[in-house]
């Protein structure tokens, strides 16, 4: 393996996770693809570019040596067991994640978590400062790294710094609960450009600056925040997407088409197949979806032999209580539905709690007549876009109004997942609508996703960052 060149990267990506996790398989240690939409999107963007990616390797302890993969330098950051508890599980996923997702579960605030978050953010900043070439572009990702822009700016004022939020940015009335609110806003303002999923997220951020920061610290004019040291930081919506072309062509391969037919056969060739694919997270509305389906099976709107449902639920953040809670609720409900409605060897719900290769995911998308995407809040939801990319005229998408994707996929069967009765009616509408209505809707969404793909997103973000005003 070549040795790592120092100070030579014109593009540096920093995200909490590397695109691969270090995992033990028996006695061996191997690298396996990391979960989540951030990695799905950035992996395809970085396959076209040279650069370095800085992030955690997913296990406690010292950082493994940097290495090259597909033309990109992966530079692991070490996190101790304490830092994983306090920075990752604590501040990032116990305070920020629930606060930024409409307090679906109550956030917890602890001062020791905040201290760990700050110190890990400083470590990321130092690593970036060591790796970035003069005047390099640095693209920082997501809620785990909101103080990095400021710390990095202090170390390397020559860099062009951008940050993208993959999750929602909450309304100021919620954000102001956060004891660290000023530190995070100042942290983000170290950037030249801030990208958000929706216009309302960018507006929420600008409103938070206006209302919560002192007037002699910042002035907000339009979408630009002017800082007291004479810099400007712009905030705008740049909605993320997927590698739509590659999903569409994968879905069209004879192997995937064959596997899709096989999946349906294995389920006894149901008349209708419904599908849900989510990380097992309380934001995803899996419980609400199952409740709607349970009622529909009970009331006879769905018949267990004719309509089957597959729920893929990827394991996520398993040491956190809120995640253990949602997992047991989902498993109990699936057990109850199957207990009440199964015939021998033919349960109505197939529950798959593991990760699958891309080809298998594509086959599931192709096999499904109706995709159920019902989050209570989601920054974007790439699964919705993947389903749409895999279908050009068949299929139907039931989509929650509380996803970023609903801003773009307007021809979906939109629903409010909190309203179980209407969600049931929406699922029935999707199942029963005329083929030409479904096909018209799907064609429009397919075109939208192919046109606004992940490359378009990355180019928009980087163009916004490049044209950001020069520093004084
Ligand atoms: P989030 O980022 O919150 O997890 P998204 O829907 O935006 O949600 O992105 C999830 C990504 O993870 C998608 O690319 C989806 O295909 C992928 N994914 C979800 N579940 C699985 C699974 N069980 N196996 C493999 N990939 C999965
Ligand atoms: C979402 C977040 C990502 C995160 C991913 C998986 O997509 O926006 O930042 O990486 O979920 O979550 P995890 O906690 O396993 O990294």
- Measure CA of the first residue to CA of the last residue in the chain; give whole Å: 41
Greatest CA span in the chain, whole angstroms?
Answer: 73
Q: What are the tokens at 222?
A: 């339009």
Judge whether 291 and 374 are in contact, CB under 8 Å.
Answer: no
CA distance 92 to 143: 7
Asked if the domains at 9-240+456-466 and 244-452 fall in one CATH topology, the answer is: yes
CA distance 371 to 395: 8
Distance of CA 70 to the CA centre of its chain: 23
Q: Which residues does the annotation mark as catalytic?
A: 166, 378
> Would you say the CB of residue 37 lies under 6 angstroms from ligand 2?
yes
| pLDDT tens-digit map of 167-199 | 999 999 999 999 999 999 999 999 999 999 999
Q: What are the tokens at 415?
A: 């629903």
Which of helix, strand or coil describes residue 434? coil
Output the residue whose Cα is nearest ligand 2's atom 5: 36
> Would you say the CB of residue 35 lies under 6 angstroms from ligand 2?
yes
Which of helix, strand or coil describes residue 334? helix
pLDDT value, residue 247: 97
Within 13 Å, how many C-alpha atoms sit on residue 135's CB side? 3
pLDDT value, residue 6: 56
CA distance 154 to 178: 24
Top-level class of domain 244-452: alpha beta
CA distance 380 to 449: 13
| pLDDT tens-digit map of 441-461 | 999 999 999 999 999 999 999
Q: Which residue positions in the chain have pLDDT lower than 50?
A: 1-2
- Ligand 2 pocket mutation pick from 13, 14, 17 by most atoms within 8 angstroms of CB: 17
Q: Which ligand is nearest to the CA of 143?
A: 2
Whether the predicted model's global pTM rises above the 0.85 cut:
yes
Looking at the chain, the number of H-run helices and the number of E-run strands are 17, 18
Question: What phi and psi, each to the nearest 5 degrees, are found at residue 16?
Answer: -55, -40
> Would you say the CB of residue 317 lies under 6 angstroms from ligand 2?
yes
Q: What are the tokens at 253?
A: 């391969």
Q: Domain limits of the chain? A: 9-240+456-466, 244-452
Judge whether 164 and 139 are in contact, CB under 8 Å.
Answer: yes
> Would you say the CB of residue 142 lies under 6 angstroms from ligand 2?
yes
Q: Is the dihedral of CA 138, 142, 144, 148 positive or negative?
A: positive
DSSP 377: S
Judge whether 194 and 162 are in contact, CB under 8 Å.
Answer: yes
| pLDDT tens-digit map of 219-264 | 999 999 999 999 999 999 999 999 999 999 999 999 999 999 999 9
DSSP 50: -
Judge whether 159 and 135 are in contact, CB under 8 Å.
Answer: yes
pLDDT value, residue 446: 98
Q: Which ligand is nearest to the CA of 386?
A: 1
Number of the ligand 2 atom closest to the C-alpha atom of 93: 14
Output the residue whose Cα is nearest ligand 1's atom 22: 355
Which CATH fold topology does 9-240+456-466 show?
Rossmann fold (3.40.50)
Q: What is the arrangement of strands in the sheet containing 272-279, beginning at the earlier edge strand?
A: 349-352, 307-314, 272-279, 370-373, 396-400, 413-415
Tabulate helix, strand, coil % of the chain (nearest 5): 45, 25, 30
Report the separation in Å between the CA atom of 17 and the middle of ligand 2, taken as the mean of its atom positions: 8
Rg value, the chain, Cα = 23
Quick one: CA torsion of 98, 101, 106, 107, rounded to 10 degrees?
40
Within 13 Å, how many C-alpha atoms sit on residue 420's CB side? 11
> Would you say the CB of residue 78 lies under 6 angstroms from ligand 2?
no
Q: Which ligand is nearest to the CA of 239?
A: 1
Report the separation in Å between the CA atom of 93 and the middle of ligand 2, taken as the mean of its atom positions: 9
> Would you say the CB of residue 171 lies under 6 angstroms from ligand 2?
no
CA distance 368 to 394: 10
């Amino acid at each position: 393996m070549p040795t790592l060149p120092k100070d030579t990267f014109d593009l540096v990506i920093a995200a909490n996770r590397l695109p691969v996790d270090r995992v033990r398989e028996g006695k061996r240690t191997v690298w396996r693809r990391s979960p989540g939409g951030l990695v799905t999107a950035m992996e395809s963007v970085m396959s076209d570019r040279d650069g370095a990616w800085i992030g955690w390797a997913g296990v406690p302890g010292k950082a493994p040596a940097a290495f090259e993969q597909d033309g990109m330098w992966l530079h692991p950051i070490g996190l101790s067991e304490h830092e994983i508890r306090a920075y990752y599980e604590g501040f990032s996923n116990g305070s920020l994640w629930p606060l930024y997702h409409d307090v679906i579960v109550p956030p917890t605030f602890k001062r020791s978590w905040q201290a760990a978050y700050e110190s890990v953010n400083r470590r990321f900043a130092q690593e970036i400062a060591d790796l970035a070439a003069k005047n390099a572009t640095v693209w920082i990702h997501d809620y785990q790294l909101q103080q990095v822009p400021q710390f990095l700016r202090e170390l390397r004022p020559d860099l062009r710094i951008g940050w993208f939020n993959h999750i929602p940015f909450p309304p100021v009335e919620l954000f102001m609960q956060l004891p660290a609110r000023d530190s995070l806003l100042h942290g983000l303002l170290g950037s030249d450009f801030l990208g958000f999923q929706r216009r309302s997220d960018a507006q929420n951020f600008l409103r938070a600056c206006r209302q919560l920061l002192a007037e002699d610290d910042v002035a907000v004019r339009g979408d630009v925040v002017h800082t007291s040291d004479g810099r400007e930081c712009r905030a705008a919506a740049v909605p993320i997407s997927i590698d739509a072309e590659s999903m569409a062509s994968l879905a069209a391969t004879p192997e995937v088409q064959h596997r899709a037919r096989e999946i349906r056969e294995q389920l006894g060739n149901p008349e209708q197949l419904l599908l849900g694919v989510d990380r097992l997270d309380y934001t995803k509305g899996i419980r609400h979806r199952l409740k709607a389906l349970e009622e529909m099976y009970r009331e006879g709107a769905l018949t267990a032999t004719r309509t089957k449902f597959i729920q893929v639920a990827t394991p996520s953040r398993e040491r956190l209580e809120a995640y253990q809670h949602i997992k047991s609720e989902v498993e109990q409900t699936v057990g109850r539905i199957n207990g009440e409605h199964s015939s021998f060897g033919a349960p109505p719900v197939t529950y798959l709690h593991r990760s699958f290769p891309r080809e298998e995911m594509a086959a599931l998308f192709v096999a499904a007549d109706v995709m159920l995407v019902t989050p209570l809040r989601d920054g974007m939801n790439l699964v919705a876009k993947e389903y749409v990319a895999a279908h050009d005229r068949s299929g139907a998408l039931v989509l929650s109004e509380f996803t970023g994707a609903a801003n773009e996929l307007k021809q979906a069967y939109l629903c409010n997942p909190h309203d179980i009765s209407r969600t049931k009616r929406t699922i029935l509408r999707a199942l029963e609508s005329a083929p030409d209505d479904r096909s018209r809707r799907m064609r429009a969404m397919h075109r939208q996703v192919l046109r606004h793909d992940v490359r378009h997103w990355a180019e928009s973000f980087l163009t916004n960052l490049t044209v950001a005003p020069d520093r004084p």
